[in-house]
Amino acid sequence: MKPLADRVAGWLGHDAEQAVAAAEEAALRSDRFRLEREGDWKRLEGIVARIERGRLKSVPDEDLLALPVLYRTAASSLSIARETSLDEALVAYLEVLTQRAWFVVHGPRAGLGGWLRQFLGGGWSAAVRALGPDILIALAAMVVGTLVGWLLVSSDPDWFYALVPGGDERVPGASGAVLERTLFGNADQPALSVFAAALFSNNAQVSLMAFALGFAFGVPSILLLVHNTGMLGALLWLYHGQGLTLELVGWLSVHGTTELFAILLAGAAGIHIGRCMAFPGDAAVLDAAAAAGRRAALVMTGVVLMLIVAALLEAFARQLLDATAPRLVVGAFMLVFWTGYLFVWRRGRAA
């Protein structure tokens, strides 16, 4: 190792003069090339390492300004080294260095906070609007599901047990008083347990599934929407039989407008992915899936937010409002709010 150490002493000093002197001494042209640029590479490596460790703030301004130039220097050094140098270790080093710098230079632009601002300030609604036809398909599936549920149960009440997972008093043949009791007078239930139950219950699962199953060309998403709104149709039929339709709608609408809206969007996101994979147009299937997936991911982030809002409404608002009229008002307000926010309000439309 002794001769190695001697050799190092000659040129590894950070002194630029020494480096130049060593470069003049070097026998090979490719080594002169290397010695002249080594300082830049090392500087780039230092900056990249600090940014990778998450210490962006500790990087001086002049280094940040130099970063793109240094990156391009490294990239062009790599091209030249491949053509002129047979030093395998040098080429490998430059490949890795360029790769790391490339990730830093082309990394995610905004942090989570900045992204969230942009998301709520128009990114989400734009993504939702980009799903236009898929939302219509999902809406149609949900309407059909409700109708089918209603018609099936009205033709044969036994269907009710197949559609609605049982276990409580809401069954065909229940008296009006029993059904009414399920809608009103539960104000003393602890809000928290309802919140938790709602958030982790059926609906969140259904939304996520409806999105994820879109992967199979959207068919399972549609089936899932139909099946779950079939349950809704069956419930509507049941309460309708006892003249409690409006009361049920009120009870559902407090959180239901938000929740059904969320399920609608989740289903549409799934259908969007499926549709783009089935009919990718000019793009390759994988590229089409990726583009659709990114749009759908934006929508799904919003869906998660909506489900949280729905769970809050279900847990608190529905217990506090123990009558149909205020429930309908809240439900209608939420519906108008979401529709307006997602479809009407556009930021920078002029631009």
Partner 1 sequence: MTARVVLEAERRRRWLTTPEGVALPFTLATRGSRAGALLIDLFLIGTGMVLTTLALLWLAQRIGLNLTNKGPAGHAVQALAIAWFTAMFLLRNAWFLAFELGPRGATPGKRVTGIRIAARGGGPLTTEAVIARNLMRDIELFMPLVFIGSALSTGSDTGPAAWAGLGWFAVFIAFPFLNRDGLRCGDVIAGTWVIEAPKRRLEQALSLGEGGAGRSAATGAQYRFSDADLAVYGEYELKALERVLRDNRPETLVEVAQTICGKIGWSAGTGDERAFLDAYYTQLRARLERGMRFGRRKADKHA
Q: In terms of CB distance, is 79 or 186 closer to partner 1?
A: 79
User: Cβ closer to partner 1: 142 or 296?
Assistant: 296
CA distance 328 to 308: 20
Residue 34 or 318: the one with the smaller Cβ distance to partner 1 is: 34
Query: Is 84 or 339 the residue whose CB approaches partner 1 more closely?
Result: 84
Sign of CA pseudo-dihedral 250, 254, 256, 261: positive
Q: Which residue's CB is nearer to partner 1, number 45 or number 180?
A: 45
Residue 317 CB, nearest approach to partner 1 (Å): 16
CB of 187 to partner 1, least distance (A): 15
Nearer to partner 1, 151 or 312 (CB): 312
In whole angstroms, the minimum distance from the beta carbon of 251 to partner 1 comes to 23
Shortest CB 137 distance to partner 1, Å: 19
CA 337 to chain centroid: 22
By C-beta, is 65 or 110 nearer to partner 1?
A: 110
Is residue 339 within 8 Å of 307, Cβ to Cβ?
no
Write out the chain in H/E/C secondary structure.
CHHHHHHHHHHCCCCHHHHHHHHHHCCCHHHHHHHHHHHHHHHHHHHHHHHHCCCHHHCCHHHHHHHHHHHHHHHHHHHHHHHHCCCHHHHHHHHHHHHHHHHHHCCCCCCHHHHHHHHHHHHHHHHHHHCHHHHHHHHHHHHHHHHHHHHHHHHCCCHHHHHCCCCCCCCCCCCHHHHHHHHCCCCCCCHHHHHHHHHCCHHHHHHHHHHHHHHCCCHHHHHHHHHHHHHHHHHHHHHHHCCCHHHHHHHHHHHHHHHHHHHHHHHHHHHHHHHHHHCCCCCCHHHHHHHHHHHHHHHHHHHHHHHHHHHHHHHHHHHHCCCHHHHHHHHHHHHHHHHHHHHHCCCCCCC
CB 103 to partner 1: min, Å: 7
Q: How far is the CB of 172 from partner 1 (least distance, A)?
A: 24
Least distance from partner 1 to the Cβ atom of residue 179, Å:
30
Q: Which is nearer to partner 1, 183 or 269 (CB)?
A: 269
Query: CB of residue 6 vs partner 1: minimum separation in angstroms?
Result: 7
